[in-house]
Amino acid sequence: MHGLVNRSFQLFVSDTFGREVWERSTQVAGISFVDFEGMLTYKETYTPRLIEGVSTILDRPAAEVLEDFGTFIVSHPKFEAVRRLLRFGGVDFVDFLHSLDDLDDRVRLALKNLNLPNAALHAAGENQFLLLCENTINGYCHVMIGVLRAMADDYGALVLLEHRGTQEDKEVVFITVVESNFAEGRHFSLGGGAYADAI
Amino acid sequence: MQMRSEALAILCPMHLLLDAQGYILQAGPTIAKVCQPEALVGKRFLDVFDLTRPRAIACFGDLQAAGAQKLHLKLRAAPHTALKGVLVHPSGDDSVIMINLSFGISIIDAVRDFELTNADFAATDLAIEMLYLVEAKTAAMSASYLLNMRLQGARIAAEEQAYTDTLTGLKNRRGLEVILSRLLKQNASFAVMQIDLDYFKAVNDTLGHAAGDFVLQTVAQNMVAETREQDVVARVGGDEFTVVLSEVNSEGVLRKIGQRIIERVEKPIDYQGHECRISASIGTVWIQPGEMPEISDILSDADVALYASKNAGRAMQTLYSPDLRKSSNLVGPQTERRQ
């Protein structure tokens, strides 16, 4: 797994629950070191073990932890670069939703070795969408829900998100855009790049 | 085929239509936004834009006559943004000229200078993708850079450790060799002092290794204190030290430093109420500029001088000369200094 995923997860856990929780989680996961580097590659098995470790230590379902993780990487100031890169996807939230089809390709353009599962958006009625995520990475869909929640907030849109289980190897998220311009949203300008120094 | 200006604005938001005299008839919304507060329509094209290529164009007539072509331009007003353009004659004659502009590589500055948004670019324009890539790559590069910095720091720390004697913090034999070979490469004049502690074994035997270690640490600190900042002190064996003195210009200086070291080492060291008394013998080699010995020669010569000091009754210092080697009973070939 790309170190960026583990590194981001580490920052999320130690920032939200404290360094000690992270250290204990790596122990529970049976990993002999504590700090991950964003620009190195690690064994595929580490990531699910780390997620399980954190879930055990916090006594919270993994799905819930992952959803918070998704929200964290979009809304935390240290990850401003992630928010900005996602905002390039569209001028409003619905536009952004449509850009999710290309998200894995876009990410690969930036980081050749970071292979995210493909996600495809399908219209499901007026202002309603189904996002079908390949389940090549366990729990990815829950991270996506957290990301979508934070991005809706960023765009100032009011949305409902619901995980609808798995259909034919794809995890399904049901999205209802209640109002596109519900709130002010956060400012975004194309030329305002403040690059992340955290990852 | 006539195209409505609304359609043209969507397809080419940075287009300009000019009449036969070079006056702007129509401007796309993005180029109009870029040139604000100046209103483009009615202005002469060459008054607003400075043509940098093709260079041979002196007036609008030249441009008109040259036919379809690529243009390089600059805004005459600040911030003098560079633009790329292409000129065509849409109706096949000279009555109307169309120029479509783009930012080219100046896109990064332009989006900031003119606060451009997605809506300012044609849907088919790759500008947004390019901005996305620049930002993504910059973020990835800076993360890589930080990783490299951390690895570099770790490497330096590891190297420092490998050249350092862990008991005293002085350079070890490897560290000493690095320093000597650097000085030899620089063709420098320097001196090497081989220092052997006298009576140290007695301290170790009577008071134990902890006392011995304490004495070695104290001696190490004292030697650093008694030498100059540009000098290097190394611990090369159990109770053997080597001092490298750079920029020595007289034998007097060498003798003075040697004497200071001996006197300092002879000061009793208190270890948990026990008085430890030791001394030091010194053998010194002075490398004159132009001499190009091997490291092993230098250390061997220093040893010869050191043994001369020991034989002379300890607490002495001896400066190496080839005569010493003849009179010493050390087995070893005479070293030959290459000139």
SS (H, E, C) chain B: CCCCHHHHHHHCCCEEEEECCCEEEEECHHHHHHHCCCCCCCCEHHHHEEEEECCCCCCHHHHHHCCCEEEEEEECCCCCCEEEEEEECCCCCCCEEEEEEECHHHHHHHHHHCCCCHHHCCCCCCHHHHHHHHHHHHHHHHHHHHHHHHHHHHHHHHHHHHCECCCCCCECHHHHHHHHHHHHHCCCCEEEEEEEEECHHHHHHHHCHHHHHHHHHHHHHHHHHHCCCCCEEEECCCCEEEEEEECCCCHHHHHHHHHHHHHHHHCCEEECCEEECCEEEEEEEEECCCCCCCHHHHHHHHHHHHHHHHHCCCCCEEECCHHHHHHCCCCCCCCCCCC
ipTM over 0.85 threshold = no
Question: What is the least distance, in Å, from the CA of B140 to any CA of chain A?
Answer: 7
Q: Check: CB of residue B290 under 8 Å from CB of residue B260.
A: no
pLDDT at A199 over 60: no
What pLDDT sits at residue B328? 60
Which residue in B116, B135, B137, B149 has the most chain A C-beta atoms within 10 A of its own C-beta, making it the best mutation to test that interface? B135
pLDDT lower than 50: segments of chain B: 331-339
Asked if A92 has any chain B CB less than 8 Å from its own CB, the reply is no
Q: What's the pLDDT score for residue A185?
A: 82
Distances from the Cα of B175 to the Cα of A156, A168, B238, B246, B286, angstroms: 62, 65, 16, 16, 20
Q: Which of B239, B270, B303, B323 is catalytic?
A: B239
CA distance A139 to A149: 16
Report the b/e string of B22-38 with b at 16+ CB within 10 A. Answer: bebebbbebbbbbbeee
The span from the CA of B296 to the CA of B287, in Å, is 13
Q: Which residues of A touch B79 (CB under 8 A)?
A: none
Between CA A38 and CA B139, with CA A106 as vertex, the angle to 5 degrees is: 40
Amino acid identity, position B290: G
Residues 128-167 of B with CB under 8 A from A: 128, 131-140, 142-144, 146-147, 150
Q: Measure CB to CB from residue B119 to each of A91, A111, A191 and give the nearest one.
A: A91
- Per-residue confidence (pLDDT) for residue A30, from 0 to 100: 92
First CA to last CA across chain A, in angstroms? 15
A109 touches A145 (CB < 8 A): no
pLDDT at position A135: 82
Q: Residue B77's CB: how many other CB atoms inside 10 A?
A: 14
- Contact assignment for A111 to B140 by CB distance below 8 Å: yes
In this predicted structure, what is the pLDDT of residue B53?
85
For the segment A131-145, the average pLDDT, to the nearest whole number, is 90
Contact B147 A192 (CB under 8 A): no
DSSP-assigned letter for residue A131: E
Of A84, A90, A199, the CB nearest to B135: A84
Give the C-alpha separation, B337 to B325, whole Å: 14
pLDDT of residue B332: 46
Give the nearest chain A residue to B144 (CA atoms).
A39
Angle, to 10 degrees, between the axis of helix B251-266 and the axis of helix B209-226? 150
CB contact under 8 A, A39 and B144: yes
Query: What DSSP state is assigned to residue A110?
Result: H
Q: What is the DSSP string of A85-106?
A: HHHTT-SSHHHHHHHGGGHHHH
Residue B243: strand pairing partners: B193, B233
Contact state of A191 with B138 under an 8 Å Cβ cutoff: no
Chain B interface test: which of A40, A82, A190 (most B C-beta within 10 Å)? A190
Q: Residues of A numbered 174-193 whose beta carbons fall under 8 angstroms of chain B's beta carbons: which are they?
A: 189-193
Q: What value does the mean pLDDT of chain A take?
A: 89
Q: What is the pLDDT of residue A187?
A: 83
Q: Determine contact, residues B167/B235, Cβ cutoff 8 Å.
A: yes
pLDDT at B329: 55
At A154 the three-state DSSP class reads: helix
Question: Chain B, 81-110: which have a CB under 8 Å from a chain A CB?
Answer: 108-110
B30 contact residues in A (CB cutoff 8 A): none
- Looking at beta carbons, which residues of chain A come within 8 Å of B108? 191
Q: Do A191 and B119 touch (CB under 8 A)?
A: no
pTM summary value: 0.63
Residue A188 pLDDT class (50, 70, 90 cuts): confident
Residue/partner pairs of B57-64 with CB below 8 Å, 24 or more apart: B60/B21, B60/B22, B63/B22, B63/B87, B63/B97, B64/B20, B64/B22, B64/B94, B64/B97
Determine the average pLDDT of the residues in A36-56.
Answer: 92
Instruction: Round to whole Å and give the CA distance between A68 and A191.
Output: 29
Q: What pLDDT digit, counting tens, does each position of B285-296 carry?
A: 998 877 888 999
